[in-house]
Structure 1
């Protein structure tokens, strides 16, 4: 699934949401592999031209397969004929990957659409780390809101805490470093 409408338009729209102090520091790239069977590849968020989050479809799907196998082994159930059971196993595996910060390119596209179509307050409160990261970079999130998040952010994934810290630093909001929870 390639991004529709056009990635260039979506990227321009996404970049328009980035707060002023981070405008030149944050970038988003989508790299598609022409020879891949589904033509998907990676989505990348860079800070100062350094990859901070790479969402590779091949890596995510491989890891999801491993997680599904582990779940099946732990349940001692290798039945593949039960569609409902298979979906539940896949859902559990995908949730594990999200908790670990392992995403596919299509996860980024899904998060992007939800971000574009939700109020900023809802995006900030999302349980999806990708949506939360995008909202932390958003110019509509003010300093007071950022300050008020300092306690709740401790419960977030380390990637979310990294982007929160980056935004606070860019806005000259002094907080304790959160990387090592």
Structure 2
């Protein structure tokens, strides 16, 4: 599918409150076949999510350690995760230390997922992901680990206020770009 037709379909799914505020843009280099071009999502005329560029409004993580040390990422842990740490450890460990260990394990898993998702952002992947978004259910897009699928689902008109409020806890575990568009959608 051509970019203009894809863009038209994506914009037809935009929430009425975000219509004109969120734009999908792409540049291509006709005479440079080794350059894939840039693709970005703009909100209020600002390039919020460039697919490769690290100079966006959203914080890009360089290493797993950046994610683990980011105080802005809150990781909720369950009793089952604490129990798994307790069973894996030998000896008696204080309860607060078990929570720290379980949270650290979960942050390591999250860091790997975020780094993988960030590495896959490019124009060609945007086109593939956008086509996948158009052919999958909104629930599958919301639950996906893909940053772009999450963003496209959050700005979609089929997602209502009630559903947005129900996923508030899940958004804390998502990439900052997804959190940005979640807050943008809640503010409308």
Contact 1:43 1:54 in 2 (8 A): yes
Counterpart position of 1:114 = 132
1:21 aligns with 2:17: yes
Partners of 2:20 and 2:114 in 1: CA distance = 33
Partners of 1:102 and 1:50 in 2: CA distance = 22
> After the TM superposition, which residues 72-87 of structure 1 pair with which residues of structure 2 at under 5 Å, given as runs?
none
**By how many angstroms is 1:97 displaced?**
4.2
Counterpart position of 2:102 = none
1:135 aligns with 2:153: yes
TM-score with structure 2 setting the length: 0.64
Partners of 1:127 and 1:35 in 2: CA distance = 34
Contact 2:117 2:145 in 1 (8 A): no
Figure out how many residues of one structure are paired with residues of the other and give that number: 133
> After the TM superposition, which residues 1-12 of structure 1 pair with which residues of structure 2 at under 5 Å, given as runs?
5-12=1-8
> After the TM superposition, which residues 15-94 of structure 1 pair with which residues of structure 2 at under 5 Å, given as runs?
15-56=11-52
**By how many angstroms is 1:105 displaced?**
0.9
Cα distance change of structure 1 residues 101 and 166 upon mapping to structure 2, 3 Å threshold: farther
1:12-41 deviations in Å (ceiling 9; x for gaps): 100000000100100011100223233520
Unaligned runs of 5+ in 2: 54-62, 64-111
1:144 aligns with 2:162: yes
For residue 107 of structure 1, give the secondary structure of its aligned residue in structure 2.
helix
**By how many angstroms is 1:127 displaced?**
1.0
Contact 2:117 2:146 in 1 (8 A): no
Higher relative contact order (CA 8 A, sep 6+): 2
Unaligned runs of 5+ in 1: 58-66, 68-93, 171-181
Partners of 2:140 and 2:157 in 1: CA distance = 15
Counterpart position of 2:177 = 159
Contact 2:154 2:185 in 1 (8 A): yes
Moved beyond 3 Å, runs of 4+ = 94-102
**By how many angstroms is 1:106 displaced?**
1.2
Partners of 1:29 and 1:15 in 2: CA distance = 11
